[in-house]
Structure 1
């Protein structure tokens, strides 16, 4: 009966002597493990089997046997067969009197059960689509890492990622294409980060990355830019070709928080700022972002009121004939004269408007306002207005445009509507009908963002467009890489010519790019090389008299989009901290004002806030103004500003007697050499009178 039981696999047995060597093993076990029975007998049991327990629950078979105590349910596999069957062992110590003589035990095959549990456990920790860690596992990993690193005073960076335009792929190519795209994104993420890290997918198109022992913001910015660059490359899917983007928010513990909730929340705020800054960017967290986010949400909520209170206004960007340098049309851009913030320009306003429920209302207002203003211009000048997808697909859109033209008494051919390729992702019958009605009225139509990744010749075949507007990103790529991109632009120009359409390129800044595009045959151009968007008064002045002509010039540069530098900061010298005014800031140095009689060669530690300390030397001085040169250059912060590569650790401040949670930003008086009023110390520099524009 025992032999039959063993052969059936329902019951297996084993025994060992007092030294732990195998004295008996059911032959069926050896067969199941694909090991010769004679090779097992006489070997230590702990060398025949190894634990098959999963991560975090590993036990030692040697320790269990050495304890001379009974055990049960211990999962093992053959030490020399990693892919062998999994057994569950139980053992009972045997004694003669008080003398231990070995173990007697049983075994059972749990391979199928083990792998089912393993898969269940894997699904509980990992994303089934991409194989990356899921939200639950990422939270556990970050929490345990931060707890351990707080005790060890180590750094840890958290990156939050969000894909741009992913919804378009789902809506146009289907969810299966979206799933395949996410798998490819996962592969690219794992290839793009060469340091030890944990990557997770939180759901949808949100990803999270934890990089231990990293607080160098120069390295983190390089990682973020590599991710952004890799993820924006085209994707080949069974359903078609797709191009997306990526925005990244970065927070670093302990500088930006010491708990999971703090650090993830702040990385989220940085991501929100990156998306609002124009997408395809990265941002580091700073204490100002929360106020920015709150204010931005208020702006979005107040958009409807802004339309009703006439706070919106238009600026116009000249569209110039590259051959004759004559302005042929003016593209309308919506700006906002906010009562608290002042003028919100067209770039920031577009990012606020995107995704807002007021996008159609604002779009219709822009068409009406542009028609009214253009009605006073010469007949040779057209006005171009961008049409949001939500407005194009709304009920009564064509009637609203007709009413705007009629109210302004503007001939239809002088209105040019820029239609994004995204409109073709909707109901094709509706799109074709709307375009046909607009064309029938005589309104000029421009296909916007052509070459953005979704371009199809079917659009041009079906729709009565007058002009193709080449995607600005393709134009920008042509400036950096003048090979394939210029070839694509030449092909687009040739295609437009064959279909009797004009071409427009915008965002042109350099003379070199202008010359290349002109050589490709692009007819109309826009950008800082001609003019930034100008207000209504400038347009009306320029349009008086003969034709408005603008020669391209490389001397014109795009307006710098940066935060105001004029602010109060601290500079530390010896054991004194002085408050000064920071007047300007560059990667290599700064200009400060507020101290008198500071000689050249003086060294300061410049406190830029939030733990950012930069060692600097005075290289020039003029009264109360000093020019400083940094010992280590600042780096880009991802938003057009500058920041230090490293920050003072809050742990260092805490060790100087300040509790970690009570630290004040920019306050380093508790640091060695940073105190004010210490016994026997005398300030070396006196304060100068404040600048005149501050005195008021």
Structure 2
């Protein structure tokens, strides 16, 4: 490498090869360095010419009587001609400082210096062999003076200086030696050596300083270009204030950004300019206050955003600056940069809105709802008050999507959002969590009656008919409420509590409002425990079937057995169906469990007499499974049981479910020849329309009506008579559940029920006992 560095920030130091012009330095402009060397040499042209003239005149006067005049005058004229030629050429080539020089041009200067040195060495070698003392001293003085002058005048080109000094010094030392003055010869050599070292060091210092100057100039040019480009492009500008916070050296772009003239801004207080009309009122934006504090504390700052009013329009500026100090550390003010970020801020606001607001309804989405709940919880804890979170789920909304399509469903959701928004005050914020779930955050929920009234009002308002695309739509709403911090110390816990309360409202049939109770959490934990255990119950053989007989009311012969599922856990013990069946439905476990029940029941019924049927309860979730019909076909095929001996029992809740998939499945099952029974008729809506939708073979009357009739309840008796009459007219059979005494059985028979089921004829029993009961009944008939 031709350059060296003292440290990472220092300017490069040229090698001797580069200083002498023998090679270029990597990464540096050698032409510019050589040009500066030649330019410095040209600057001393006049001095060198005068020195040559004076030296020639002095030696001519001193030596004219002691040497050949022709030779002396010839030398003098040659020396003067060379000096004149050099001076004229340098005058013509002035301006070297503005150009680049080649190595050949630099070496030309060296050659000229060497030639000059040869001419000045002639007097010592040719004109004096053993002159007088006066001539000797004159010659010594002139040559020594010329050498000393050359060591300083020619210092910008070290190689030229070295060439001149070596030639003249060598001639002088040789002359001293020839006239038997060895001491002076040695002195001449030492003087020459000292001048060589001095000239070389000065030459290196000149070259290195010139390199530093060139690099500094280049950096200044780059900075100047960058500043000009910065000022001429984009929406950015420079600003500067003095120690009194008044504007100085106002940038044209800064003035343009403010819509003012430069003369108006020069010397004006910076904060007043930014504050605009609010300066007198003192109503400053927080960003301006922060800027004032930064300026007051003389601290650097960056990316500080504040509003600035320009021509009645609010713009957003981003400012960055650093304090200015002089060499003594005195504070001079601030210099900084600013830019208009209004467009970026508007884009950021739009992105923020998209991230926090639902695009369909315009309501806050889940993210903003969660943030609002968190803030409400913080405020409630700080002020020792209460807040509330309401979770809302629409009832029967899926039926709208399934029957009329999602576009209609989306417009319905927009209407729901409008109604919900109309119910809100400044104390509440409503939003959409997703799908058909909405939420309300109540910031101050210290009044429980007001909270209850709001929930009821929400249910009532959202349950009113909707007119969408010439369709009159009826849906409902269920609400669950949790109050913080009582029902949850964090936003997540509060939302979870409201979700549990909503689950209770949905479980109650919808259109209801429940407030969270600690028991809900215990129930949820129990359900979670049951779900975990239930997932492996089938594999571990913990599930088993029991069968309860259904007899003829006419002669008590067994016509069928109802299949009932039981679960016995090794640690939890016997778990009743009303607990684990809903868990299985929610956890999507009812399909595999139901398929196992169907297969096991059909396989057991295949061992019974051909006159005895098996009844299997089917969950609404199973009927929504597209593979359920395949499961029925597979169970019948593997067991060999005829389809007419299988009866599937469903409840009227399947008709309350959204969509018509379950009804289509029932039609396919009827097509197989399987019988259908409507279980628990009379406990729900008991609409006769259900009986027209599907061809049932049996209607089962709930045990609550049987028990009521046994107590001579007029309503229960009237309901049973009506159901029997209706079933007879439709060609259906009726089964009364819950007969436990002979009196109840006799009453059921008199009311016209064709089949009876209850503890009087047998409790739910294992398969082996059911087979024994059938065998006993068969023997009794044979004996009769």
TM-score bracket, shorter-length normalisation: 0.3 to 0.5
The structure where helix makes up a greater share of residues is 2
| TM-score (normalised: structure 1) | 0.47
| TM-score (normalised: structure 2) | 0.43
Q: Which has the higher contact order (CA 8 A, sep 6+)?
A: 1
The structure where strand makes up a greater share of residues is 1
Please tell me whether Structure 1 or Structure 2 has the larger radius of gyration of its CA atoms.
2
